[in-house]
Every structure is written in C-alpha cells, then in structure tokens.
Structure 1
C-alpha cells in the first residue's frame, strides 16, 4: 500500500538547513518526511500564487498545489536525481492548473452540446431519457480513460488540435499521440458498445 503524504499546513517559517537539489531528491526517494515538509514550507506560498494566476481562485489554487505535493510524495521513488526541484515544482503546478482548466472547458462543451440535444428533443420524453443516459455514460467513459490517454483524446476531440500540435504541447512523439488516440477510441467503443442502439436511434430520429 502506498504511504500517505505527511500532513502539512500551508505556512511555515523557512527552515535553516539548506540542501542541494540532488540531496533533496535523494532524501525524498528515501522517504524523508522532514525534507518533504522542508520543500513544502519553502515553496507553498509562491506556488499558490503561481496557480492563482491560472485559476483566479484561492481555494482551487491551494488544492492544485496540495495535489502536486501529494503526487510527489506518492511517486517519490520515481523522482530523478538531476534537475532543479524548484523548476520541477513550477512545471508540475503549471500542468496541473492547465489540466483542471481543460477539464472544466470539456465539461462546459458537453453542457452546451447536450443542452442543444435536449432542446431539440423537448417533446419526446423517451428521447430525453436516452440522451441523459448516453450523456452520463459518455462522461463516465472519458473519465475512466488513463490520464494521458484522456488528455490527448480531449485535446483532439474538443480542442480540435492536430496530432502534431498535441505532440508539441505535451512533449511527446506524434507516434505516441497516434497510439494513445487509438487506445482511447478502442476503450470508448468497448465502454459504449451497449449504447450503440441508443446512438443509432438518436441519429436516425434527427
């Protein structure tokens, strides 16, 4: 079972002992709660302010930073002993903030799309039920995709980005993007197979 991240509070006085980036990462990989708290105390305030520039909400910014630190602790054995800890933290908060905003944008797109669907079917109560059911399962199918797979699918289908643009944005090869999209489409087909009849009915009834 993965050890839970140590409980921490948002604001502390800076610690007197300073470690090199290599030492910090080495000690984190060894499970040092003291070093983990040191990093949190030293960087939380500025990271919170950085997240706020994206999210414009104090609580959301705090949640994003907390999530980043929790993930670092949970996956500390995967940390690499080279590079700047500060740069890694800012990059992680940047990505976490953008992923949150993209998720909200996708949710908004679904609301608009299905609001139109519901309006067009306003006089057909049975169709309303089917649209609601389909919407629920599409949401669920997308949310159950692996994280990288889900982000690539959303960027392609809802942001309308080309594979090369997605590859450049995520720092991945275009082959990886193609493979992940193929995987996403295959998983979506499997998860929504039982609703094929409903989707066909909705298309034919238009």
Structure 2
C-alpha cells in the first residue's frame, strides 16, 4: 500500500503541528467518509462520524509514531463508531449492522478498506475529469441510474448520443485508469452489474 504521509509530517503531527494535522486530515478524510458510508448507508452520518474520529485522533496525536498507526486508528475507530451508531438507531436495515459485526479482524479491516477506499477515490477523480458532456451523461447513467431514454429526454438529446457518450466515457476511463488495473476491474465489474440490473442501489453504494 502506498504511503500518503512523509515521515517528517508524522513527526510534526506527533509534536502537535497544525499544518501536519491538516495534511493528515486531507490524506485520509475522503477515504474514511467512503468507509463509514459503506457501513452506515448515510452520507451525512458518515461525514459526522469521520469528523469525530479525526477529533479523537488529534487529541491523541502524541501516541502515534508512524503512519500505519494513524491509519489503523482511523479505520478501527470509524468502524466502532459506525457500529455504535447502528446500535443506537436500531437501524431498520440489518445488513449494515451485520457488515459492521463481521469486521472483527482489525488488521484485515484496516488494509482491506483502505485499499478499497483508495480505489474508489481514484475512480471518482477519473470520472470528474471526463469531458463535460461525457461526464454529465455518464453520471446520470451510473450515479442516478437513469435509463438512456430518460437521460436523452432530460438533456434533450438523442438516445444514440447518450450511447455514444457512454462508450466514449468508458474508453477514456479505461485509458486514464490504465496504470491501476484493480481500479479498472472494479469500475467495469460494477458497470456490468448495473447493466444487468443485478443490483438496484446507487452507484456510490456499490463502491
């Protein structure tokens, strides 16, 4: 797994440097939000939990001597906070609670979800960098799960244009993600599931 923080940043973080705190926050905030949303199924709650987890981290900054320790604390604390949230809310969707309960191996939890979160972040960035029309159509198809005819009607374009732009988006994404084959596989497997209507959840939920 690639490092996100320089050794000096970790040292400065341990000594209470505010700029180091900011670098740690920027390095892991998006990944922890993705992780917590996967468990809770709630974007707002995921952001709140993530903020609380970082506050706990900053309050204990002197305890961390390396990046793996920081990363482990973030993921394990986020998992525990999500579990507490689901228990307190007596969540109707038991599947989220079961996901949290199954996460018993903290080391596996840290690495598995860190890797997944980084892949998701890479994919989202690639999507956001698509050409304007291409990006708009692609996000309507796979984030909002609209049918090609619905996208065509909404944007007042032909259905054929939707298919052309969709194909273009997939080609561009494959090219831009070419150095990360795991991200390519993850993205196109997800798209295939959506094409087959195997899943009916939003694209973000799948990731």
- Shorter chain as denominator, the TM-score bin is 0.3 to 0.5
Structure with larger Rg = 1
- TM-score after normalising by structure 1: 0.39
